[in-house]
Amino acid sequence: MTKPIYVLSGPNLNLLGVREPEIYGRETLDDVHARCAARAATLGASVVCRQTNHEGVLIDWVQEARTEASALVLNPAAFGHTSVALLDALKMLSIPIVECHLSNPAARESFRRTTYVSLAATGVISGFGARSYELAVEAAYGLASKSKP
């Protein structure tokens, strides 16, 4: 696999480890990125990991992934529940999209149970804490490998 798997994270995930650790765990985003890189390496792949608190920046990265990535792992955080613009950007991708959540949104507040990202995602992994990202990288790799001619 020559193109990396993009691993993009949305708002407030830069505060992992200190933000509601009872929900999101104590690992930092750097820890999560290291897990993703290690898992990708065992598969013979690479990752590009990024986080932003800005919707437009996240959309720019999704658009970039259209040509620069083999697959996309996306934890949209709150943007998943609010951003039609993010959904529109995702619908332009022809690569696999794996939506990823640290917690299980279906077991939380009702407004978290619907995500626009799911409408464009190939699959969703949630509820496994930091391990959700590793599982998502593995799934993205498998989907990208399968989709090659």
User: Each residue of 34-56: pLDDT tens digit?
Assistant: 999 999 999 999 999 999 999 99
Active-site pick, 24, 116, 133, 141: 24
With 50 as the cut, is the pLDDT of residue 143 above it?
A: yes
CB 4 within 8 A of CB 72: no
Residue from 6, 54, 81, 101 carrying the catalytic annotation = 101
Per-residue confidence (pLDDT) for residue 149, from 0 to 100: 47
All structural domains of the chain with their residue ranges = 5-147
Tell me what pLDDT residue 104 has: 66
Asked whether 141 and 2 are in contact (CB, 8 A), the reply is no
Closest CA to 114 of 82, 85, 86, 72: 82
What CATH number is given for 5-147 in this structure?
Answer: 3.40.50.9100
> Which pLDDT does position 113 carry in this prediction?
58
Tally Cβ neighbours within 10 Å of residue 145: 15
Residue 24 designated active-site: yes
Q: For 71-99, how does the pLDDT look when each residue is reduced to its tens digit (9 = 90+)?
A: 999 999 989 888 999 999 999 999 999 99
**What letter represents residue 62's amino acid?**
V
